[in-house]
Homo-oligomer: A and B are copies of this chain.
């Protein structure tokens, strides 16, 4: 589901605020990849207050897959730390609404689902470190090919909290050993968007039987002389929320991310 006003050019979507306003007005209903270059995008999870504190603790205990970069106060749709004039109910191009672990709707706005007890969590995503890697001349095969990054459920269990538990999901990017070493250096600077890889080279050691068969996304084309490099992935919290079958939750729709006013470069800790 990737829809958008045909008169809306990428040049009109050059800042986080541009993207949010286009989503809010209904002119942008699809993917955000490649929009607002340089601006931080994030995963969204909205939960009722009753589950929110357990989820916050789950994220704190699992910072590699679940690095929280912004939260809202209960019932408040603003997230000032991520952007001026932010409305988390309308500013994503598309949402998924979940009831007891089942997706019940995939709307372009969640105004009609909003409740006074909802808390929003924005979780860092790999777009930020991918930009940093490409600036170093490290190719991102899935971007070049226009497909999704391959993702895998691993044998690495998250540290549970309340009803939230499950395996760490990882994304994989094939790289030459030299680029893999550089990628460790570059992504270590960005702990709030998954940080350094969590594994490299030996997929079977983390429970991945066949690297050519991802659990989510599209298979990569592994070439001779390349290693698979694995990062903790923002799909982890989504999978955990679905598995917990919480009574009610809202997430972003795949690829339709939160787009913030923060610049990617500002997330670097070094």
Contact = CB atoms under 8 A, between A and B. Distances in A.
A181 interface: yes
A184 interface: yes
B225 A200 contact: no
Given A181-B184, A185-B188, A225 B199 contact: no
A62 to B, nearest CB: 16
A201 B227 contact: yes
A249 B101 CA distance: 74
B185 A200 contact: no
Interface in A177-193: 177-178, 180-181, 184-185, 188
A201 B205 CA distance: 14
Contact of A181 (B177, B196, B205, B270): B196
Contact of A205 (B177, B197, B200): B177
A177 B199 CA distance: 6
Interface centre among A185, A197, A200 (most CB of B within 10 A): A200
